[in-house]
């Protein structure tokens, strides 16, 4: 359990730094697009990859969620 929490923090911090966001903005963003659910569901695969891959994967996921939430993709 603690490993997953550490990994969530790692993802938040690295995504935040890469995208130039503030902590609160990142948390709101992750909540809005259900990124925490995605990270938890994908933990086994994601935690074995590198920083760049994780950021790219999260970006792809968020872009897809944005399209779904805006009604572009059904």
Residues with Cβ within 8 Å of 37's Cβ and at least 6 positions away in sequence, in order, are: none
How far does CA 66 lie from the centroid of its chain?
13
Residue percentage of the chain with pLDDT more than 70: 97
Task: Give the pLDDT of residue 69.
Answer: 85
* Positive/negative CA dihedral, 15, 18, 63, 22: positive
Task: Give the pLDDT of residue 36.
Answer: 96
Average pLDDT value for residue range 16-43: 96
Q: Where are the beta strands (DSSP E) in the chain?
A: none
If phi > 0 it is left, if psi is from -120 to 50 it is alpha, else beta; for residue 71 that is left
- With bands split at pLDDT 50, 70 and 90, how would you rate the model's confidence at 64? very high
How far does CA 43 lie from the centroid of its chain?
11
Task: Give the pLDDT of residue 72.
Answer: 74
């Amino acid at each position: 359990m603690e490993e997953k929490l550490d990994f969530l923090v790692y993802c938040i911090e690295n995504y935040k730094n890469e995208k130039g966001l503030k902590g609160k903005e990142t948390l709101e963003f992750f909540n809005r697009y259900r990124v925490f659910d995605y990270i938890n569901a994908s933990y086994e695969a994601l935690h074995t990859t590198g920083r760049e891959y994780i950021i790219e994967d999260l970006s792809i996921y968020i872009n897809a969620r944005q399209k779904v939430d805006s009604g572009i993709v059904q």
